[in-house]
Each structure stands twice: as structure tokens, then as C-alpha cells.
Amino acid sequence: MEIINFLSSHADLKLDASFKDITTIKMGGKIKYLISPFDMNRLKLIINFLKEYAIPYKVVGRGSNMVCGSRDYNGCVILLEHINHYHFEDDNTIYVESGMVIPRLANTLAKLGYSGLEFASGIPGNLGGLVFMNAGAYKKEMSDIISEVLVLSDGEYKWLNREECAFSYRHSIFHERRDIVILAARLNLVKRPCDDIRNLIQDRLARRRATQPLDKPSCGSCFKNPEGDYAWRLIDGVGMRGYNYHGIEVSQKHPNFIINAGGGTGEAFVATLNLVKTRVLEEYGVSLREEVEIFNC
């Protein structure tokens, strides 16, 4: 009861929730404690508490790039949905907290005439997740507009500049430093006519709808593109388009999307992922690197 009382006093708490409820691919086992801290200071208190009681924990964004196994997680999953504020610090710099949903922010900025986030307008994640992945599309990525990232590290708040974040293609220092929690970032934007921004966003969204299986549960692109090539082309080239294994399917529409076609599990997803990698390596000599995060599997 002490654990429940503490968590519920500093966060919204759900007991025995499921990863199915918090991931876009809609699968995974139960979660013992699912919480949404009320603010950054409460988050700091909670993490210190969890460490003291040796309770494992995982900070999750919107679950749009995450595949979870079927076994139950006897720990605490932390959502940052309440840590979602933003404000302009000057004419071109905006402070945005991790829980802010990026498509919502991109549309808000478009109405205000601020450009820079159009490329991410169709990515169904929050700021923290996009910073973690250095997410990108259409030859743009988050590191192009980030100046600093606010983190919680060793119980202290700290600003990291862009160089300290060690951004690269779909990667950042936060992959190696899982103990660091991304709290906010400063983004550099530019003024542009509202109509131009809105038109670009609509164009990007239309291209996504035409080429990606957005009507199916998925975690987006599964593999990073090899240098000078496209993962989808290699997957298609080994005849994996449409492959289905226990409800996990390599999308007919876009082979770099592996979807939950019905009743899929994290274990079946990993098996499919590994088969794709094996076949591509055997046929092309290319080692595909996954973009998706596998957890508790």
C-alpha cells in the first residue's frame, strides 16, 4: 500500500494496465504500475522513490516506436503526458516539454507562422520520443532544429547542448544512457507565411497516407535505411512483402512497416524481424539495423 499511496499522490495511477493500451502496435503484457506524473518535480521524486525500493521502471512516450513482449512487466511504466507545456523564449526559440504531441505542436506552429517542424507533422509521437530517436522524414531530422535538451540525470536537472546529445541518423546519446530522462528541448524555428507551412504539412500527410499502412497497428518504419539504399527495397527484393506469421505481417503497402494484422505478439514480431534481417543479409550482404525498440521481450 505504501507504494500505491506514494505513486497516486504524485501521479495518475493505473494498476494492471497493459502495453496494448499505450503502444500504437497494440500488443504486449500487463504493467504492474502505469503512472503519469503531474509535473517534473513529481517525476523526480517518483524516480528517486522507485530506485530506493528497487522497482524497475521505464519512461515511455506515446509508444509509437515500441514493441513489447507478452510477459507481464513487474515494474512501473512512466508516461509524461502531463509534462507537455511550451512557450516562446524569443522570436525564434520555443521551449517544449517531452509530453507534447508533435503533430499537435506542428499544427499550432503553422497557425502562428513558425516553420521547422513540418517534416514531423505526421509522426505520431511526443517530443521526448522524437528527441530520443532523432526522428526524421523527408531529409530533415530533429537535430536540425534542436539547440539544447533538458534532462534529468543522477537526480539533477541539466541542459545538454546539441553536441553533447551526440545525434546521428536515428540515434542519440540517450540510447546508451537509459538512465537519463528527456524532459524538454529548445527548438529553433523560422518565420514563414502560414499558408506555405500548412500546404507543406498537407503535402507531407498526403504522401504518408498514400504510401504507408496508417490504418493498421504498427510502430512505423522498422529498419533504418542502409547508406545509399532503402530498407523497403531490400525487404521487397527478398520476397517478404505480405509475409504473415502468427498475426504479424510485413505490410503489402510498405514492406518496412511490420503490422499487427490481428492477434500478433511481441515474440512473433521479433521472429519476423529476425527473419527479414537474415534473408536480406543472405541475399544482399546488408545488415539491416532496426529502428524500433524491443522491450520486455
Looking at the annotation, which residues are catalytic? Answer: 170, 221, 291
Residue 128 cell numbers, joined? 521526448
Q: Which three cell numbers stand for residue 250?
A: 510485413
Q: Which residues sit opposite 187 in a β-bridge?
A: 94, 146
Contacts of residue 28, defined as CB under 8 A and 6 or more positions apart, other chains included, come to: 18, 19, 20, 67, 68, 69, 70, 266, 296
| Grid cell at residue 136 | 526524421
Q: What is the rounded CA–CA span in Å between residue 193 and residue 186?
A: 22
120 by DSSP, 3-state: which? helix
**DSSP three-state, residue 236:** helix
